[in-house]
A = this chain, B = another copy of it.
Amino acid sequence: MLEKVNKPSDIKGFSQEELKELAKDMRTALMQKLSKRGGHFGPNFGMVEAIIAMHYVFDSPNDKFVFDVSHQAYCHKMLTGRKEAFLDEEHYYDVSGYTNPAESEHDFFNVGHTSTSVSLASGLAKARDLLQKKENIIAVIGDGSLSGGEALEGLDFAAELQSNLIIIVNDNEMSIAENHGGLYQNLKALRESNGTCSNNLFKAMGLDYIYQECGNDIAAMIETLQKVKDIDHPIVVHIHTKKGKGYKVAEENKEDWHYCAPFDKESGKQFSYNEEEDYEVLTNHYLLNKMKQDPAVVAVVAAVPTNIGFTEEKRKLAGKQFVDVGIAEEHAVAMVSGIAKNGGKPVFATYSSFIQRTYDQISQDLCINQNPATILVNGASVYGMNDVTHLGIFDIPLLSNIPNLVYLAPTSKKEYLSMLDWSIDQSTYPVAIRIPGNGVVDDHRDVDKDYSQLNRYKVEKVGNTIAVLGLGSFYQLAEEVCMMLKECFHIDATLINPRYISGLDTALLDELKANHKLVLTFEDGILDGGFGQKIASYYGMDDMKVQTYGLAKSFVDRYDVSSLLKENGMDLANIKEQIELWLTNN
């Protein structure tokens, strides 16, 4: 049946049996692609029937769907002219893993962060009303996204809209891991009472509400959606689906199958990307050990526990010294500030892309108050996630310009663990640590134990003429550059490990003037507002020349790392050329 579908209207004439056939075909396609390429398994397998029903009842793109996170939109893509990307291996990479307006008029937003759909849909609805148009606006939200502040703000506001807005709450009983937060108790009570229990969260927010227990039944879903089509006010359609539906292994291990690596279909064994030592496991091992020694230590995550290795087993080991607040980064940061204020030693860890959700809390709740909490920033690198919505290259301008925050950039495993240990036990500064994104480097350089004298850069190799500053995960690139300078130009460059992203070692920078003429800076992120520009500005009135290396300010998407580095002049050949040019002019 899927072969027959080129646009949503193609399914409007299908019988119930044909729609069921279609669902089967779509799951087969999902299974085939995901077993080969990996992807968001559970969210998509759970939403097959709901998405078929949505396209059967509504008229996309006139009626408009907004998918939260949009990791559950694979089937929507199949029905809107993009089925080849799931049926033909050669076209697998034609589509992104999220909705994407560049791909189709049926997609309205590039979405990858959670909790945004109700607000975005409210905007579509408001514009429709202003322009006196008629159309259904449908937001789809689920997978733990409801606990995010933006989603709750959106629900609260929606009640005031007084016009058509259909909010499908896809309740699969899960976030990435298990759900956290009181509202999920309410969803459970609603499921168990077929939507009739007292203290309905959505009604309490001022919204109309209906419940559909059979979210994986096409006929039931069609009937429910037909009831709400063209409704004249906002309504929540709470549907109960099964995450990973149709693949037993995934149904039974929902957390492991939220996102999957390529896997063997028969055994359900995922092929792990690599077996090397990684910072997730290292951090976890360190923290569990530290927790045993000190009951004040507590690890906090916002729905991504495995970003610091807290699998279900490790969470049990940590007990009350581990907190998953659910998708609620703002709350997490304010809470760790409170924990630190009252004598605890909190470590909050999340991805660089998600730390963006909590700028104000880092500034106001944490840094103005100067409470000694530790924040671990994961995936902060060109080597991190490469979808446009999940880039890890903006945290340096974001965090390093907040007063009072000490932002550290370790360059090796030893240095990372040493900084983490110092940070947890000190009681003076809010500290963020940028976990190296270039793999675990275990070299023989000595590292300091104490980082309380701020902004002292480490000279790893004394030289002259050129000083190379390699920040964090680009330290090893700086090492390579120094070797190239020696080999190609017989220059013994000075190699510096800045360690502190958030401040300048002005004494060292002044010293360099004596026998250096050029400073090269390397940082693993965008240049604008970052580290190198501070160095260049510091030397603004001096004769010292400064060349900064990093990425241009841009929303890059699904890039190849070495190509991107090359485009931004960070290949050795280009650096060599620039040095040659400089030498010629001097």
Contact = CB atoms under 8 A, between A and B. Distances in A.
A287 to B, nearest CB: 14
Contacts of A334: 116, 119-120, 122-123, 150, 154
A293 interface: no
A527 interface: yes
Contact of A364 (B116, B296, B364): B116
A331 B555 contact: no
Contacts of A94: none
Contact of A198 (B199, B361, B401): B199
Interface string A122-134: 1111111111100
A268 interface: no
A238 to B, nearest CB: 13
A576 B346 CA distance: 49
A109 B342 CA distance: 11
B341 A123 contact: yes
Interface in A360-407: 360-361, 363-365, 367-369, 388-389, 394, 397-398, 400-404
A493 B461 CA distance: 44
A156 B181 contact: yes
A536 interface: yes
B331 A369 contact: no
Contacts of A126: 298, 323, 335, 338-339, 344
Most B CB contacts (10 A, CB to CB) among A109, A110, A321, A582 go to A109
A384 to B, nearest CB: 15
Interface in A62-118: 64, 66, 101, 108-113, 116
A148 B372 CA distance: 25
A35 interface: no
B130 A321 contact: yes
A328 B545 CA distance: 46
Contacts of A326: 156-157
A402 B397 CA distance: 9
A129 B320 contact: yes
Contacts of A123: 334-342, 344, 346
Contacts of A335: 119-120, 122-123, 126, 154, 157
Contacts of A311: none
A131 B296 contact: yes
A182 B150 CA distance: 15
A207 interface: yes
A274 interface: no
A529 B529 contact: yes
Given A122-B335, A127-B296, A127-B344, A546 B540 contact: yes
A158 interface: yes
A183 interface: yes
A180 interface: yes
Contact of A149 (B149, B295, B526): B149
A330 B153 contact: yes
A185 interface: yes
A537 interface: yes
B180 A204 contact: no
A400 B401 CA distance: 13
A401 B122 CA distance: 27
A436 interface: no
A121 interface: yes
Contacts of A64: 342
A206 interface: yes
A546 B555 contact: no
Most B CB contacts (10 A, CB to CB) among A126, A321, A545 go to A126
A247 to B, nearest CB: 31
Contact of A204 (B111, B200, B357): B200
A548 interface: yes
A153 B147 contact: yes
A338 B120 contact: yes
Given A120-B337, A121-B338, A320 B130 contact: yes
Given A368-B110, A401-B528, A547-B540, A128 B342 contact: yes
20 contacts: A110-B368, A112-B364, A116-B365, A119-B331, A120-B335, A120-B337, A121-B338, A123-B346, A131-B344, A147-B157, A149-B149, A150-B361, A181-B206, A201-B201, A356-B359, A358-B360, A397-B529, A401-B529, A402-B553, A540-B547
Report the 6 A-B pairs with minimum CB-CB distance, sorted nearest first: A123-B338, A149-B149, A182-B206, A159-B182, A119-B334, A127-B344
Interface of A: 64, 66, 101, 108-113, 116, 119-132, 147-150, 152-160, 180-183, 185-186, 198-201, 203-207, 295-296, 298, 320-321, 323, 325-326, 328, 330-331, 334-344, 346, 356-361, 363-365, 367-369, 388-389, 394, 397-398, 400-404, 526-530, 532-534, 536-537, 539-541, 545-548, 553-555, 582
Given A123-B337, A154-B331, A540-B548, 14 more contacts: A101-B369, A123-B340, A124-B342, A126-B298, A147-B156, A150-B330, A150-B361, A159-B183, A181-B206, A182-B204, A199-B204, A359-B359, A398-B398, A404-B555
